Structure formats: structure tokens, C-alpha cells
Amino acid sequence: MAKYFIVDEHTRVPEITVGSKKVFDKLSKEDRDLIIKAMKDAQPYQFKLWVDFEKVAEKTVRDKGSIITEISPQEKQKFMDAMKPLYDKQPPEIMAVVNKIRAVK
């Protein structure tokens, strides 16, 4: 168990649905629409489960003696500013993806 943790949001674990495009494309439009709707409907529940899991995990490591440090928005901005030169070197197609990620709230 790590003694120290920092909550800096430098990574996030995406939850995705994986399936065969080959099989999906063989389904009727109605079935494809139903699957897409089910995935969208499941998102709020999955988000809640993830938040609940994080709370349990944090309590577990705190109870075991780990020290968790959260950074302020100002400190987080320093990390973001330090990354600017790297982003400035990225091609437009990469920055399009980065900007989509940044737009997610």
C-alpha cells in the first residue's frame, strides 16, 4: 500500500463498451439503436458505481494509514501550464481529440 497519494486528476479511467463491428453491422437498425440507447442509459449508473467505488477505495487506504493530498485548482493549473509546450507541438488532429476530452464535464 502506498503511503502517499496525490489526487491531481492527471489520468482518468474511461469506461467503454466493446463489441464486434462486424457483428454489430449485421444487426437490424432497430437492434443497433436499442443497443446504443442501452449504453447511453447505462452511463449515469456506471458513473455512480465508479464514484461509489472510489469512495470505498479512498476510505480503505486512509484507514490503512495512507496520506491523500488533493491539489488546489491553482496547483492544477500549474501542471496544465507546464504541458502547454507539448500541446503546442501536436498536430491539429491530436488537438481535436484533446479539445473534445477537455470539453467533457
Task: Please report the DSSP string for 51-71 in residue order.
Answer: HHHHHHHHHHHHHTT-EEEE-
Residues 56 and 90 in one domain: no
Is the domain of 31 the same as that of 1? yes
My answer on whether 29 and 3 are in the same domain is yes
> Can you give the pLDDT at residue 16?
77
Asked if residue 78 and residue 40 are part of one domain, the reply reads no
Same domain for 53 and 5: yes
* Same-domain pairing of 14 and 57: yes
Other Cβ atoms less than 10 A from the Cβ of 76: the count is 15
Predicted TM-score of the model (pTM): 0.59
pLDDT for res 105:
65
**How many domains does the chain divide into?**
2
Sequential pLDDT tens for the chain (105 residues):
789 988 887 777 767 778 899 999 999 999 999 999 999 999 899 889 988 998 999 999 999 999 999 999 999 899 889 999 999 999 999 999 989 988 886
How much is the pLDDT for 8? 82
pLDDT at 18: 85
Are residues 89 and 64 part of one domain? no
Enclosing domain of residue 82 = 72-105
81 and 55 co-located in one domain: no
